Structure 1
């Protein structure tokens, strides 16, 4: 039901199944200025210890990657380039490191957009400037490493996921993930999913193919 927390069964899915199904779902951030709600419009799957693009490839278990080994429904937040936070939804069972990177979101209302723009603190020329890209959306939603390891499967904390519409009704496409040339044969797999023509998406791939819902 729209507005209700995503069911526990969702977070038990492997990342490659969960990533497209997160499209259209709502991400909620509770702040002292009020709740910010947005729609997830772009995701990437990082599918377990065999995925060479994953931080947990080869079951690499470090202080950084430890949240990926938590049960599904955990937040994995990490820092890149020493300045940008990236927010991931951990899925699958404990000790099986699956995660979905949330790459872009769209504010649900003008009020949400205004709060997000204030958090960004920079000139917004186009929608993707606001929250198109993991670093931008994290800043727009005040997501940082203090939220790393947080349970996000229930609405009693500062960050959680709610049901939106049925994602199977959305016009979704798939394409290779961004900036993971080091992943060798995994680099070109079409494990990025986004809403076709959505202006908040970080990068539109001219060779993206329609995602066929099962």
Structure 2
């Protein structure tokens, strides 16, 4: 069952936790790929020094963050890797959740071709890797996650798990915000991007 709009219309920290165990689906001309979300990070907008909307506010890049929850916010890092975020909360509140890692589920051969590797643990173990494996690019910026191409769904068999909260990664510039425990992972999952700090 596809995730409803209401799911996304809550604060980013809550959504980031509830995303764990859900399935990200991307339907493309090449085929369908799916992965279980195993690692997320919440970014709490204008109150969060690590967020793109902090101080800068509404700009060309962050415009989609000001919509209601349930849209894709895609950006490029290091001039070469795309990252997928999910817009959350109500209109005018620019909060997002970064998808940091997936456990590959379906379309694995296609993911391997896109990533040029057959190492399953390495296919989606990072925000840039998962976007490459799932063929998520700037063309997906602003896409409605309640649509029919890029969306989230409940897994057919959701296994119980323990969640771990830890510090977010690579945000040393963010002052005290770098200490917030807004990274969420499934405990002992081998597909997360890096060890818990």
Query: Shorter-chain-normalised TM-score: which range?
Result: over 0.9
Task: Give, in whole Å, the separation in 2 of the partners of 1:165 and 1:43.
Answer: 21
Q: TM-score, normalised by structure 2?
A: 0.94
Cα deviation 1:110-152 (Å, max 9, x = unaligned): xx2211111112x34450x211110000000000001001101
Residue 70 of structure 2 aligns with which residue? Answer: 73
Residue 113 of structure 1 aligns with which residue? Answer: 108
Task: Give, in whole Å, the separation in 1 of the partners of 2:82 and 2:101.
Answer: 13
* Structure 1 residues not aligned, in runs of 5+: 208-214
Task: Give, in whole Å, the separation in 1 of the partners of 2:64 and 2:130.
Answer: 20
Task: Give, in whole Å, the separation in 1 of the partners of 2:162 and 2:95.
Answer: 25
Residue 50 of structure 2 aligns with which residue? Answer: 53
Are residues 59 and 164 of structure 1, via their aligned partners in 2, closer, same or farther at CA, if it must alter by over 3 Å? farther
Report the Cα offset of residue 84 of structure 1.
0.4
The 5 Å alignment of 1:142-157 reads 142-154=135-147, 156=148
8 Å Cα contact 1:116/1:130 also seen in 2: yes
Residue 212 of structure 1 aligns with which residue? Answer: none
Cα deviation 1:170-212 (Å, max 9, x = unaligned): 211111000001110010111000111111100121x5xxxxx
8 Å Cα contact 1:21/1:167 also seen in 2: no
Residue 133 of structure 1 aligns with which residue? Answer: 126
8 Å Cα contact 2:171/2:178 also seen in 1: yes
Match of 2:32 among 6, 10, 35: 35
Task: Give, in whole Å, the separation in 2 of the partners of 1:59 and 1:166.
Answer: 42
Q: Does 1:193 align with 2:193?
A: no
Are residues 9 and 167 of structure 1, via their aligned partners in 2, closer, same or farther at CA, if it must alter by over 3 Å? farther
8 Å Cα contact 1:23/1:167 also seen in 2: no
Q: Does 1:164 align with 2:155?
A: yes
Which portions of structure 1, spanning 4 or more consecutive aligned residues, are displaced by more than 4 angstroms?
165-168
* Structure 2 residues not aligned, in runs of 5+: none
Q: Give the paired residue count.
A: 197
Q: TM-score, normalised by structure 1?
A: 0.87
Task: Give, in whole Å, the separation in 2 of the partners of 1:165 and 1:94.
Answer: 31
